[in-house]
Amino acid sequence: MHKIQVADRAFGIFLENENINKRISLISIQLNVDYEDRCPLFIGVLNGSFMFMSDLLKEVSISCEVAFIKVSSYEGTESTGAIKETFGLPQDLHNRDIIIVEDIVDTGFTLEHILAQVHAQKPASVKVCSLLLKPESLKKEIPELEYVGFEIPNEFVVGYGLDYNGLGRNLKDIYRVID
């Protein structure tokens, strides 16, 4: 098995870049159909979504706008539940079609926090596109979660934008913790 070390933990290969990109192609085809002639605003949630956002939007061929917000709730391998917001929503969302782009939905607390702020501005529609979803650890219902790359078990993963204590975001594949 392809193993790597990130800081003090060992990780094994979980999703290879080639498979990630195949899945992204399918999601983008769906987005191109669903949002034809609607000029949606994609809002990436930093830091984790930067690589997914980039690969996804290279395949999105409709007219669209792109923005980012920055939030964080994780320390080490545990969600703290307390959402720290470093910079918030950049522009007027009223009457816009919004697509929030996340790296991973775990408990759902981060998204709940973001969605409340987005809905407060009365956009025309709001959907969430997340590369990964951990269905077993989801604590909130997220009806906006329309586009999901992969459903994964409740294990800590790193790579392709996702970090372990700030490291590993640059890995092109996704790894899961093995000890």
Known catalytic residues?
A: 106
Q: Which of 55, 97, 106, 144 binds ligand 5GP (CB under 6 A)?
A: 106
Residue 21 contacts ligand 5GP per CB under 6 A? no
Cβ contact 124:96 at 8 Å: yes
Give the closest residue to 159 by CA, choosing from 100, 102, 106, 103. 103
The smaller minimum CB distance to ligand 5GP, of residues 61 and 135, is found at 135
Task: For residue 38, count other CB atoms closer than 10 A to its CB.
Answer: 13
List residues near Mg ion by CB under 5 A: 45, 48, 74, 102-103, 163
The verdict on 125 binding ligand 5GP (CB under 6 A) reads: no
Q: Which is nearer to ligand 5GP, 35 or 74 (CB)?
A: 74
Determine, following the binding rule CB under 6 A, whether residue 104 of this chain makes contact with ligand 5GP: yes
Establish if 43 lies at the interface with ligand 5GP (CB under 6 A): no
Residue type, 62: I
Is 144 a binder of ligand 5GP (CB under 6 A)? no
Q: CA angle, 142 as apex, 136 and 144 as ends, to 5°? A: 135
Closest CA to 109 of 85, 90, 76, 87: 85
Q: Which of 141, 173, 52, 106 is nearest to 42 (CA)?
A: 52
Interface positions with ligand 5GP (CB under 6 A) = 48, 73-74, 79, 102-110, 156-158, 162-164
